[in-house]
Amino acid sequence: MSGSGIAAAEQLSKSDTLGLRKKHLGPSCSLFFEKDPLKIVRAEGQYMYDEDGRQYLDCINNVCHVGHCNKRVVEAACQQLSTLNTNSRFLYDNLSLYARKLCSLFPDPLSVVFFTNSGSEATDLALRLARAHTDSFITITLEHAYHGHVTSAMEVSPYKCPEGKMTLPPYVHVAPCPDSYRGKHRDADHGPEELGRLYAKEVKDICEKVTKGGDRVGAFIAESMQSCGGQIIFPPDYLRRTYECVREAGGVCIADEVQIGFGRVGTHWWAFETQGVVPDIVTLGKPIGNGHPLSAVVTTPEIAKSFHSTGIEFFSTFGGNPVSCAIGMAVIKEVEDRDLKTHAKEVGDYLVSSLRSLMPRFPMIGDVRGIGLFVGIDLVRDRELRTPATEEARRLLFRLRQEGVILSLDGPYDNVLKFKPPMTFSKANVDRIVLLLQRLIPEIKEDATAGFQKKPEACNALTADKPVSRNARICVAPLIQPPGDLLCGMRRAQGCQSRMKSGYIASCY
């Protein structure tokens, strides 16, 4: 489609669209590139187009799993919507056929499914199932975890609970994130197997504390690979050892596959399979409907029976409606017929190896980690100290956007470039990104060096007896002048909003 054709889809000018959004949407509803947001009017495959017809390579949209505006998905939705759409209290084929197909992708005994509408709703239901089965609210979650925006999900999401902003309830225990690169236990000090054992022991210690107090664990909830924590790939055997500890303490294990499921890891349908485990409950969302609001909770007959025994009926007006089921089935068929799992492995391996090939030339790339099309680049100022390059990451993100590539940042220091693109992402897309990084990283490094003072002052976010972060080993606070009014890199972990000198910002590490 030509640029003029794309522009014709625009109903308002960009400024008018932004003005109406600011007027009628809550101010807490954020935008990518807040200072100059992208206005997107069309998308196809792994590409998005703005109001001027400019193409952007989408490297972050794990929602449109089989590609934006996928033909098979669109046709399935339109056909079903023109035939029947109702709620699941009526009997219709789509629900039964889709439930059978979805459950066939899971190992035994995961064979019962509840349909919902969002990942947050799936998390809430998963916690209800766990509590009904174990008769315990005690939940173990991971540092930096995010499981949704509803109240129950927020309670197990430290990512959304900076110090002083929200306190987790006493029945929620937080275990260290099994981050081998910059977590409590690191690959510089331990081998992979030992890291799995050490991080699992952190969960075991919590379980023992709970049981010694006369209680039982209700649930352990974790993404099978942590996304918001900075694309964290767990060390070998971590989940197997952790699940054993939790089950011995009376709890059940919830695998959050909302961001990483449906073949993204390349070798399996589900990321938990890479750890050789079978959870008791699995939550699904985002890619399940390729952008359509659909989610699900898959569990065992035993847990479903416990939930039924509470006497409380479960019903979701839109969960599992005929249109949602038609779309869900189309997504699975697209992954299968186009062998997108194998594609994710091949392109993901190529992406990781290509990015790692840059490391000898660019010390700013501290770590490249990933499986399939779930990849992160950890940017650092000092590779030995692993000092997060938060400001450089922001600048690089902005420059990539200028070059027509959309990425995002995450991790507790906002220094990890996240790759979780549509599964149609190609090796040619990888080559383009690698060429851009080769050109832009030296530019970013030069800009950053020019902006740092020779003798950085101490950050006033530190106190004598308490570091700003549970994981902080050092604090280096170069005074940098970023584009716009940005918060300190520790803002999510500890709510740090320190300011220093005439518009400069203290970056805490």
* Rounded mean pLDDT, 172-192: 97
- Cα(269)–Cα(240) distance, rounded to whole angstroms? 18
For the stretch 400-444, pLDDT in tens is 999 999 999 999 999 999 999 999 999 999 999 999 999 999 998
pLDDT of 162 higher than 50: yes
Q: Is the pLDDT of residue 233 over 60?
A: yes
- The residue that leads in pLDDT, 195 or 494, is 195
The tokens of 106 are what? 């899971």
pLDDT digits 0-9 by tens, 469-504: 333 333 333 323 333 333 333 333 333 333 322 222
What pTM, to 2 d.p., does this model score?
0.87
The top-level CATH class assigned to 339-451 is alpha beta
- Domain parsing of the chain, residue ranges: 71-337, 339-451, 455-509
Per DSSP, the three-state class of 374 is: strand
Residue written as token pair 């190896």: 353
The two beta strands, 374-382 and 112-116, are unpaired
71-337: which CATH topology?
Aspartate Aminotransferase; domain 2 (3.40.640)
Output DSSP code: residue 120: H
450 or 82, which is more confident?
Answer: 82
Q: Binning pLDDT at 50, 70 and 90, where does residue 241 land?
A: very high
Distance CA 331, CA 329 (A): 5
The mean pLDDT of the chain is 87
- Write out pLDDT tens, residues 10-56: 789 999 999 999 999 999 888 888 888 999 999 999 999 999 999 99
- 305-359 pLDDT, tens digit per residue, is 999 999 999 999 999 999 999 999 999 999 999 999 999 999 999 999 999 999 9
Instruction: Say if residues 169 and 213 touch (Cβ distance below 8 Å).
Output: no
More confident residue, 154 or 471: 154
Q: What is the pLDDT of residues 255-288, one digit of tens each?
A: 999 999 999 999 999 999 999 999 999 999 999 9
Give me the half-sphere count of Cα atoms (radius 13 Å) on the Cβ side of residue 103: 20
Confidence check: pLDDT of 461 > 60: no
CA separation for the pair 217, 210 (Å, rounded): 7
Which tokens in the block code for residue 430? Answer: 């990888």
Instruction: Kindly state the DSSP code that residue 177 receives in the 8-state scheme.
Output: P
Alpha helices for 44-140 (secondary structure H): 71-81, 93-103, 119-134
Instruction: Provide the pLDDT confidence category of residue 464 given band limits of 50, 70 and 90.
Output: very low
DSSP conformation letters of 182-231:
TSSS-TTTS-HHHHHHHHHHHHHHHHHHHHHTT----EEEEESSBSTTTS
Phi, psi of 26 (to 5 degrees): -60, 145
For 49-83, how does the pLDDT look when each residue is reduced to its tens digit (9 = 90+)?
Answer: 999 999 999 999 999 999 999 999 999 999 999 99
Residue 414: DSSP 8-state: T
Question: Exposure string (b/e) for 89-128, b if CB count within 10 Å is 16 or more?
Answer: eeebebbeebbeebeebbeeebbbbbbbbbbbbbbbbbbb
CA distance 377 to 373: 13
How far is it, in rounded angstroms, from Cα 480 to Cα 139?
40
